[in-house]
Structure 1
Amino acid sequence: MRKKRILGQETEYGMIIKQLPRDLEMLEIAKRLYYRFIPLCLRGEAAAREMSWKTDYFLANGGRFYYDAGDHPEYATPECLSARQLVCCSEAGDRLLEELQAEANEKLAAFGLPSRIYLYRNNHDGKRHTYGCHENYAVKPEIFDSLAAYGSNAAKDFFLAYLMSSVIYTGAGNVIYDPKSEELKFALSQRARFVRYEVANSGPPFLPMINGNNESHAGEDLRRLHVMGRDTNMANAALYLKFGTARIILDMIEDGCFNRNLALKNAIQSYRQFSFDPSLKFRAELKNGKKYTALEIQKILLEEALSHVSGCGGGEEDKDIVEKWGIVLDGLSRLKEKPRLLLGDVDWVTKKFILDEELNKITRRPLDRGLAFSSFKGRTRNSLNDFLNFARTVNIQYHDLRRERGLYYRFRDFATRIVSPCEIKKAITEPPKGARAELRGFLVNAFNRPEMASKYHVAYCWHFMQWYYESSNKCIDLSDPYANRFKPGVEKLLPKDIKVPKKFRTKK
């Protein structure tokens, strides 16, 4: 029987500091205050005074909060064993960051500083800088070697065809204005135009779809497949499909049950062209000369996934994923007649609906293939200039983490519910069941008790934990991502103040 695949996500959040001090020194002070307030909120005042210099924290839910390159706050989910668990943990990260943002701004105000910090779950800053959502999948070493290879092979070609065409439900939506041509375009993806390579070891600005680095954090038996080129989603249904469909596709590849003829001739170019076609009519050429739209490719994949899930006795989540996958593809097929069908479930559809509703008041045409401002004059031209400002605002405000301000949250009532608010609240402080995140969460809670935090210095990584006290230096091995019980003898490595609950002890 196949083990459940370990899943994880890293989300880099856009950060805007409003009412910036003109004095750069003051700006740096504001940033440093923010860096101090976040750990203060995370650990409590007593611990924060001791550890305020840190910008990297493992959390009680087994996840991680830190600052990535470019000073982006980043939240990594704990190890999850299902797409549903991942959606829950991802949403928990948003709610944690929303709370921390509010507390940080309260403290900035208390210090008499005018600056305010706002966080956005998006993928670019409106200029040429991109940041994003990184997907992690545990795979066998031989599968990693195939999918992260620099050359072409059948498994990699099939996986790329899936990834590139999935933009029709994973895209977050993007508004792009070219001042030279005076043309406003809508794209399905914020990330697609930044993706330069199929596989590479680099990050932005030379972004690959798949990162070729081998950093498994899980011993020799597993590899971490690191997908970098898809968008960050606000919609839980889109996030659920993103990870759920990828997991099924990877199962098919591992079993050798995949379509070897489904290979894009130019995967990167196809990704961009799929993205710049909200009509979903662009046909990409395959290596065998056939041409398909992204929707047609996804329907082929769905049909094969249905066959695989039914033939291999897929679990309840697999069946739910293929059912929802089919519903979304059907909705995309009927988008022109029923534009409200996928509101709240597919981000680019939801964002485009907001823009089209406003644009319809001016020109009575949707933002499909590009709106050339130069073809309009007089009052309409002035109205379009106002619309451009509106579109730019929507492009940012849709992704605002604050539920009372983010435009996406106005459509939550239309959305398919994947997890409940109670489950999300619980996931902020409790790790998901079934993997090593349970052990990490226990250790974080145990060592973060006030009497422990003031006494012991601790260091965490995904696959181990170390604690220091005077001359003592002990390391707890967490290299098995599936282990939710400590290895024999671990209790002897922990301080006497910490008692390991029975549920985390190895069964005799």
Structure 2
Amino acid sequence: MTRPRIVGVETEYGLVARKPDGGRGVRLSGGEAAQRLFAPLEREYASSNVFLANGGRLYLDVGSHPEYATPECAGLADLLVRERAGDDLLVGLAQQAEADGAASGEPIRFRLLKNNVDAHGNSYGCHENYSIARSLDLPGLAAALTPFLVTRQILCGTGRWSPDGFAISQRAEVLHDELSSMTTRTRPLINTRDEPLADPARFRRLHVISGDSNLSEPSAALKVGSLLGVLDAFEAAVAGTGPALPELVLADVGGALRAVARDPRAVLTLASGRTIGALDVQREYLAAAGDSPVAARWERVLDLIESGREDELDGEVEWVTKRALLRRYAAARGLSWSDRRLAQVDLAFHELTRAADGTPHGLFRLLEARGAASRLTDPEVVERALTDPPSDTRAALRGRLIGAARSAGVRYSVDWVQFTAHDPASPAGDRSLTLPDPLAAADQAVEEMLAALTATVG
């Protein structure tokens, strides 16, 4: 049995806000929209960069993008719950900011978007994080993962309309390198910044920044679940307990990314001169991943696309669902594919915000609410994840510490690894502790600090 592996997702959201002023209203600048969105958080925490009691982190990223990082999760099912809870937290923040605006006589309408590109071509990301052993050779792992990541968009791309056609991924056009320490100017498949957020002698963080932000939970499950299976296979191969991963070296990584985005059945050229279909690349990794929990769904997607029956994946694979929606909209209104009104449909597909009665504004969430798109998470479980951290990772300890400090009225500072209680009334002064193991959900030093904080309340 494979040992647990910590996984987490960071999502950068698009944000648009308007003041009603006749017609479409007056659009706020990105900075003002973000400031108003985060005003309720600022009032509660005196900060726009906050670790929450549910183990996650909510903050304002560069470019005025709201960003939510899930807590550390020890499995795929919990990650899906935690990512969905992050979406709901942002939606709740937008609803509170709208209510505040209405109460002050300054109504504002927010549009919160879970996508990866704006109307000007700027891209923002979805970053996946996987714990791996420090001893693993990162360049070797990246070389083994590159063909997989280039073709993974077949499973989990969100799709993008353009007047010239349809791409299955929003991120493919802006990616260039296999490895880089940069995340903006030269966007790579894998970011190499050595920031383990754990004991650096034991852990490294594999930081994958090439995937799209998924609304579809089956697509999100394939995105992360397939990579988890490939990582397990790579580690088994290194340990000599499993076969080697496919030895495929692409002649042109960037060109291959864009070719697959235009056609999931694209034929790619390897450095050796041999050619191979993108679907066949995925089949080789599927075989290597063996009994991955997502293997059946993974194989079904490949089989239906290969047979030209991908329309049967409407409601399961996000890019298929979006393309089908765009085609239906155009056909019902007699629009050509190049009609710019389809760009608004594409954007509306990604909206998260809801009406006051809870009805989704976004087209994908409407499809999901009507049963036309599959959902894997239980709404009640997601509701609990808004406030409760995972019970089986370090997030449980951090969440308990944050909750206890807030209840005690004790100032604190916190990041992924460290917690400090600032209590000038205590003879000990500041009290700090470190949480170096993301898989540790129990710690005696934490229990002692919790007891001290509880005594403060008393």
Q: Deviations over 1:63-110 (max 9, x none)?
A: 110011111110000001111111110001111111111111111122
The residue aligned with 1:505 is none
Q: CA offset at residue 433 of structure 1?
A: 2.5
Q: Equivalents in 1 of 2:235, 2:412: separation in Å? A: 38
Say whether the 8 Å CA contact 1:123–1:131 is kept in structure 2: yes
User: For the structure 1 residues 19 and 292, does the alpha-carbon distance in structure 2 shift closer, same or farther, using more than 3 Å as the test?
Assistant: farther
Q: Equivalents in 2 of 1:263, 1:142: separation in Å? A: 23
Say whether the 8 Å CA contact 2:37–2:93 is kept in structure 1: no
Which one is further off, 246-255 or 111-120? Answer: 111-120
Q: CA offset at residue 165 of structure 1?
A: 0.5
The residue aligned with 2:17 is 17
User: Does residue 34 of the first structure (1) align with residue 15 of the second (2)?
Assistant: no
Which one is further off, 346-355 or 321-330? Answer: 321-330
Say whether the 8 Å CA contact 1:20–1:27 is kept in structure 2: no
The residue aligned with 1:305 is 289
Say whether the 8 Å CA contact 2:150–2:257 is kept in structure 1: yes
The residue aligned with 1:390 is 341
The residue aligned with 2:126 is 133
1:69 aligned partner, one-letter code: V
- For residue 468 of structure 1, the aligned residue among 422, 429, 433 is 422
Q: Equivalents in 2 of 1:499, 1:165: separation in Å? A: 55
1:37 aligned partner, one-letter code: P
Q: Equivalents in 1 of 2:246, 2:155: separation in Å? A: 23
User: Does residue 407 of the first structure (1) align with residue 363 of the second (2)?
Assistant: yes
Q: Deviations over 1:314-350 (max 9, x none)?
A: xxxx3x311221122223234x4461x2122211111
The residue aligned with 1:459 is 413
User: For the structure 1 residues 26 and 83, does the alpha-carbon distance in structure 2 shift closer, same or farther, using more than 3 Å as the test?
Assistant: closer
The residue aligned with 1:246 is 227
Paired positions, count: 437
The residue aligned with 2:8 is 8
Q: Equivalents in 1 of 2:437, 2:29: separation in Å? A: 46
Q: Which structure has the larger Rg over C-alpha atoms?
A: 1
Report the TM-score when normalising by structure 2: 0.89
The residue aligned with 1:270 is 256
User: For the structure 1 residues 337 and 362, does the alpha-carbon distance in structure 2 shift closer, same or farther, using more than 3 Å as the test?
Assistant: farther
Say whether the 8 Å CA contact 2:34–2:60 is kept in structure 1: no
User: For the structure 1 residues 24 and 173, does the alpha-carbon distance in structure 2 shift closer, same or farther, using more than 3 Å as the test?
Assistant: closer
Say whether the 8 Å CA contact 1:194–1:205 is kept in structure 2: no
> Which residues in structure 2 correspond to 1:290-301 (within 5 Å)?
290-301=274-285
Q: CA offset at residue 188 of structure 1?
A: 0.7
- For residue 74 of structure 2, the aligned residue among 81, 92, 99 is 81
Say whether the 8 Å CA contact 1:7–1:80 is kept in structure 2: yes
> Which residues in structure 2 correspond to 1:396-435 (within 5 Å)?
396-402=347-353, 404-412=360-368, 413-435=371-393
Q: Give the fraction of aligned pairs with identical amino acids, expressed as a percent.
A: 31
Say whether the 8 Å CA contact 1:59–1:441 is kept in structure 2: yes
> Which residues in structure 2 correspond to 1:101-120 (within 5 Å)?
101-120=94-113
The residue aligned with 1:222 is 203
Q: Structure 1: which 5+ residue stretches go unaligned?
A: 41-47, 178-183, 310-317, 364-382, 501-508
User: For the structure 1 residues 338 and 321, does the alpha-carbon distance in structure 2 shift closer, same or farther, using more than 3 Å as the test?
Assistant: closer
- For residue 265 of structure 2, the aligned residue among 262, 281, 292 is 281
Give RMSD over aligned pairs.
2.5
The residue aligned with 2:142 is 156
Structure 1 residue matching 2:321: 3-state secondary structure: helix
User: For the structure 1 residues 30 and 138, does the alpha-carbon distance in structure 2 shift closer, same or farther, using more than 3 Å as the test?
Assistant: closer
Q: Deviations over 1:475-502 (max 9, x none)?
A: 121111111011x3444445634279xx
The residue aligned with 1:503 is none
- For residue 189 of structure 2, the aligned residue among 194, 206, 209 is 209
User: Does residue 331 of the first structure (1) align with residue 304 of the second (2)?
Assistant: yes
The residue aligned with 2:176 is 196
Q: CA offset at residue 408 of structure 1?
A: 0.7
Say whether the 8 Å CA contact 1:108–1:116 is kept in structure 2: no
Structure 1 residue matching 2:165: 3-state secondary structure: strand
The residue aligned with 1:369 is none
Say whether the 8 Å CA contact 2:433–2:445 is kept in structure 1: no
User: Does residue 185 of the first structure (1) align with residue 178 of the second (2)?
Assistant: no
Q: CA offset at residue 214 of structure 1?
A: 0.5
User: For the structure 1 residues 170 and 27, does the alpha-carbon distance in structure 2 shift closer, same or farther, using more than 3 Å as the test?
Assistant: closer
User: For the structure 1 residues 38 and 326, does the alpha-carbon distance in structure 2 shift closer, same or farther, using more than 3 Å as the test?
Assistant: same
Say whether the 8 Å CA contact 1:16–1:117 is kept in structure 2: yes
Which one is further off, 429-438 or 109-118? Answer: 109-118
Q: Equivalents in 1 of 2:226, 2:27: separation in Å? A: 46
The residue aligned with 1:446 is 404
Q: Deviations over 1:418-442 (max 9, x none)?
A: 2211111111111123110111111
User: For the structure 1 residues 88 and 27, does the alpha-carbon distance in structure 2 shift closer, same or farther, using more than 3 Å as the test?
Assistant: closer
Which one is further off, 251-260 or 461-470? Answer: 251-260
User: For the structure 1 residues 79 and 28, does the alpha-carbon distance in structure 2 shift closer, same or farther, using more than 3 Å as the test?
Assistant: closer
User: For the structure 1 residues 358 and 32, does the alpha-carbon distance in structure 2 shift closer, same or farther, using more than 3 Å as the test?
Assistant: closer
